[in-house]
Structure 1
């Protein structure tokens, strides 16, 4: 059967598949090679890496750059901040946004059109960085862990994804529950949430990746180094100030022979990227599913 199917394919279809395959290989190479280049240079002796010419394999293998990175206790503290920020921020965001989306998905909600109009405006316009900074300062969020959590509790785009999913749930389920005496909170937590696991997982992944990768909030709103997340730590390493300090803290023998500020920066990039790289392949299907939610049914 397979041979008959292949025999029916025209020459144009074969050429089309070959061209598509070549294009995809080129795109994958362009996306993966920078990561590979960073990895092999971080695994190379720092002094030797300064000579250049390292493209595919380490020329002089060395783990001293990674030793320098993990010798700084600040990176573990930054990992901890990012971990708790991701877990708490994702949980709060999913809970709050889903609850608001469930309420706004009901056409009989008073003022629904007004709230939806306000939310739509925020998709195209924002107050700007300076007004945001002044607002956070007036709320007492500057230099506090809450600055990572409270402003990210709600996102209107994610609300639209939740709404598209909630509208596909039959109204008969809620009506039968109300006949049995259930209130809106009971229906939401006992009926809607268990049926919404796909969209909950999708939004949780969107939000979790955002919290893990965000460095901007730590740069603008945090001065306390104990509260900076891992991506802000990476930003400061790339800016050389932290990488030079890490280099100075290394033992003299290693510092003078195999570690440079450049290899420390490259090693830190790899260390901060590994968690997301390890998790993403197993959860990629949820990202695709999230983008397709509500695309078939209006």
Structure 2
């Protein structure tokens, strides 16, 4: 009985320790986000004094007004939205098609393709060969440089493959008896029953497309084709926020600073992904469980 009480006390102490540890981790993770939001909602000149940690001292939306009144930022936001939507749809469909072919036992050379694909998970050609390839494909300063190189991912193929292998073969056999070909089976049977894994891959690639700044920085020189993340990177790196303040209309520039405009831009670029994640979370969790349980 005494041993049982000691075990129970140890478990209670361990549980309390875990709870405190998780609260500390959550605070350390979430507070920087809260700090950015709070300072972006404060008057710019007042924010320069510092000391704002929990709540705006002088609430102001002028920094957000300055961001939305800047044509460069809005154009970059449009490029980001377009490449995220187009790139995600094409990536999901193309990777799913390749994964469906890999899931067929009758595919000739499947083991060789799997071996070659696995190598690409650990090794790449490097930046210079990739740049030369993009140049030779005439993708420099082109919107399609965001789409074509990212059409396929072998890592995502593995996730698709694990799901497709769990689909009962009877579904395809019944469809073939009804005269359906492989394309009809894929689009009318495989795709509808694969929504959990499709949502998972869409979330993976959508977040990648939205956050990608490197592609625009390396392969794009035209300002009208730069995504918002590349624009924000150059604002932070080159401290060019004064250009945005000059573009603001009226008296907006009198109550903003380069720091608050940077923070407001960060909030605007992060908000869409944060809002989209809760709607895809159930598919995201289910997609991660693919292949983990048999029977």
Counterpart position of 1:178: 176
1:274 aligned onto 2:271: yes
Selected match of 1:111 from 109, 112, 129: 109
In the TM superposition, what is the alpha-carbon distance from 1:24 to its structure 2 partner?
1.1
Measured against aligned partners, the alpha-carbon deviations of 1:198-233 in whole angstroms (never above 9, x if no partner) come to 111111111111111111111111111111111112
Q: Label 1:253 to 1:203 Cα distance change in 2 as closer, same or farther (>3 A).
A: closer
Counterpart position of 1:226: 224
Measured against aligned partners, the alpha-carbon deviations of 1:114-142 in whole angstroms (never above 9, x if no partner) come to 11111100000011111111100000001
Q: Label 1:106 to 1:28 Cα distance change in 2 as closer, same or farther (>3 A).
A: same
Question: Residue 96 of structure 1 contacts residue 154 of structure 1 at CA under 8 Å; is this kept in 2?
Answer: yes
- Which of 183-192 and 212-221 deviates more? 183-192
Question: Residue 101 of structure 1 contacts residue 163 of structure 1 at CA under 8 Å; is this kept in 2?
Answer: yes
In the TM superposition, what is the alpha-carbon distance from 1:179 to its structure 2 partner?
2.8
1:283 aligned onto 2:280: yes
Question: Which secondary structure state, in structure 2, belongs to the residue aligned with residue 100 of structure 1?
Answer: helix
In the TM superposition, what is the alpha-carbon distance from 1:272 to its structure 2 partner?
0.9
TM-score (norm 1): 0.92
Distance in 2 (alpha carbons) for counterparts of 1:110 and 1:172: 22
Structure 1 runs of 4+ with >6 Å offset: none
- Segments of structure 2 that go 5 or more residues without pairing to the other structure are none
Question: Residue 165 of structure 1 contacts residue 293 of structure 1 at CA under 8 Å; is this kept in 2?
Answer: yes
- Which of 283-292 and 194-203 deviates more? 283-292
Distance in 2 (alpha carbons) for counterparts of 1:63 and 1:178: 60
Measured against aligned partners, the alpha-carbon deviations of 1:79-136 in whole angstroms (never above 9, x if no partner) come to 2111111111111111110010011111221011111111100000011111111100
Question: Which secondary structure state, in structure 2, belongs to the residue aligned with residue 126 of structure 1?
Answer: coil
Distance in 1 (alpha carbons) for counterparts of 2:267 and 2:180: 51
1:69 aligned onto 2:70: no
Question: Residue 40 of structure 1 contacts residue 58 of structure 1 at CA under 8 Å; is this kept in 2?
Answer: yes
Counterpart position of 2:161: 163
Question: Residue 75 of structure 2 contacts residue 224 of structure 2 at CA under 8 Å; is this kept in 1?
Answer: yes
Q: Pairwise mapping of residues 195-274 of structure 1 onto structure 2 (< 5 A)?
A: 195-250=193-248, 253-255=251-253, 257-274=254-271
Distance in 2 (alpha carbons) for counterparts of 1:62 and 1:166: 52
In the TM superposition, what is the alpha-carbon distance from 1:11 to its structure 2 partner?
2.1
Counterpart position of 1:3: none
Distance in 2 (alpha carbons) for counterparts of 1:284 and 1:17: 27
Q: Label 1:179 to 1:262 Cα distance change in 2 as closer, same or farther (>3 A).
A: same
Question: Which secondary structure state, in structure 1, belongs to the residue aligned with residue 150 of structure 2?
Answer: coil
TM-score (norm 2): 0.93
Count of paired positions: 290
1:294 aligned onto 2:284: no
Question: Residue 240 of structure 1 contacts residue 261 of structure 1 at CA under 8 Å; is this kept in 2?
Answer: no
Measured against aligned partners, the alpha-carbon deviations of 1:158-197 in whole angstroms (never above 9, x if no partner) come to 1001110000011122223223332211211122112111
- Which of 281-290 and 137-146 deviates more? 281-290
Counterpart position of 1:146: 144
Distance in 1 (alpha carbons) for counterparts of 2:273 and 2:191: 26
